[in-house]
Each structure stands twice: as C-alpha cells, then as structure tokens.
Amino acid sequence: MEKIGKNYKVSSTGNIQELGRVTLHEQLALTGSEVSVNELPAGVSVPFVHAHKRNEEVYVIVYGKGSFYIDGDEFGVEAGDVLRIDPAGERCIKADAQSSLRFICIQAEAKSLVQFTQNDGVPCEAKPSWL
Ligand code: ZN
C-alpha cells in the first residue's frame, strides 16, 4: 500500500517476515527519528560494534531470542524486551543459535524530546466513520 495525505504517508515494507533490514527514513520521509525493522537469522550477529554521535536508540524486541553487547556487558534478550542505549554506548546484537531475532530500532537525537503524548496531543473535532 502507498498513500500520501496532507499530513501523513503510508507505505508498505513488503513481507515483514523476510525483511532483513529496512530503514524507514526515506520511505516515510521521517524528520525527527530513524526507524528500522530488522531480522537477524538464527546464529547471525551484526558484524561490528558501533556507537552514535548524537542519537540514542530504542530497541523493541518483537520476536525470538538473542544477545546484546553494550560497553562490555553481555546479556540475553527476548520478545517483549525493550532497551534504550545512550549515544556513547558501544553495542552489538546477535540472534540465538536456535532462534532468529526480530526487532525495531528507533533512533532520535538524545535529549531532544521536549514534550510527548499528554502534553503534545491535541483533541480534534473530526471523527472517523467508526465513532
Ligand atoms: Zn545504531
């Protein structure tokens, strides 16, 4: 599906079960964050450790089991776990030998969030057909 409105854009990533890694920055014309949907096959590791200059990262583990390395700490993660890593955190991710690891990674500039949900949401008069 592809749909562009005055204040939104909808796009398909295709079969989300077979993505590998898809970044949504260009696909959705993101302006305040980078979002990627990732799948590491069983036993596969990201082949490097990395940190960031300005962006913190949030990882949402949506399927499987794996391991994180952060600043020398190594620990297991599984579906339902969420992580936030400071820009300077030196990180690497690996899927368990028996299970692929599917996760969403959201990058945004650290300390840039000035308001959210309760303070940023504004009620509108418009209503969808189902209300
Ligand atoms: Zn990163």
Mean pLDDT in residue range 109-129: 90
Position 12 scores a pLDDT of: 82
**Spacing, Cα 3 to ligand 1 middle (Å):** 29
**Spacing, Cα 6 to ligand 1 middle (Å):** 31
Q: Render pLDDT for 10-22 as a digit per residue (tens, 0 to 9).
A: 888 776 666 688 8
Position 75 scores a pLDDT of: 96
- Average model confidence (pLDDT) across the chain: 92
Minimum mean pLDDT range among 5-9, 51-55, 60-64, 127-131: 5-9
Q: Return the ∠ at Cα 96 (arms to 106 and 61), rounded to 5°.
A: 25
Tell me the three state secondary structure of residue 117.
helix
Cα 74 from Cα 128, distance rounded (Å): 47
Mean pLDDT in residue range 38-61: 95
- Which residues have CB under 8 Å from 94's CB, separation 6+? 40, 44, 45, 46, 66, 67, 69, 101
- pLDDT bin (cut points 50, 70, 90) of residue 96 is very high
Domains of the chain: 18-112 (2.60.120.10)
Cα 103 from Cα 96, distance rounded (Å): 13
What does the DSSP 8-state code read for residue 18? G
Mean pLDDT in residue range 27-52: 94
**Spacing, Cα 89 to ligand 1 middle (Å):** 10
CB-count exposure of residue 70 (10 Å: 0-12, 13-18, 19+)? middle
Position 105 scores a pLDDT of: 96
Prediction pTM value: 0.87
Where would I find the H helices in the chain? 117-120
**Spacing, Cα 64 to ligand 1 middle (Å):** 20
**Spacing, Cα 16 to ligand 1 middle (Å):** 20
Q: What pairs with residue 61 in β-bridges?
A: 103
Position 45 scores a pLDDT of: 96
What does the DSSP 8-state code read for residue 115? -
**Spacing, Cα 7 to ligand 1 middle (Å):** 28
**Spacing, Cα 123 to ligand 1 middle (Å):** 35
**Spacing, Cα 34 to ligand 1 middle (Å):** 10
